[in-house]
Amino acid sequence: MTSRTRSSEEAIRQAHSNFTKTKIRQQEAAQAMEREAIERQAQQAKTLRLRALRLAKEADEALLVQQAREAADRAAATAAPKRRREKAKR
């Protein structure tokens, strides 16, 4: 009976040890998943911020191009009309 008791106690200790190890692994996995989610969220926020900056820059550049075209059109409209050369008579 003594050997049975020992093997039974050892089995209980082994089961408890396995249970504890499994619990620890589950907690570590949950923490790793949480860290990954936080990193993914930070990456998405950074991407959105950079996209907003890029779109704002592109809008500013388009506005500058439009203003330059309008200024060129105004300058051309107010400039003296160009004279045409008359063809030389032979």
Query: Domain locations in the chain?
Result: 1-75
Q: Tokens standing for 86?
A: 């008359």
Q: Tokens standing for 33?
A: 């998943």
Q: Mean pLDDT across the chain, nearest whole number?
A: 90
Look up the pTM and report it: 0.56
Instruction: Please state the separation of Cα 86 from the chain's center in Å.
Output: 64
53-67 pLDDT, tens digit each: 999 999 999 999 999
3-52 pLDDT, tens digit each: 667 799 999 999 999 999 999 999 999 999 999 999 999 999 999 999 99
Predicted pLDDT of residue 6: 77
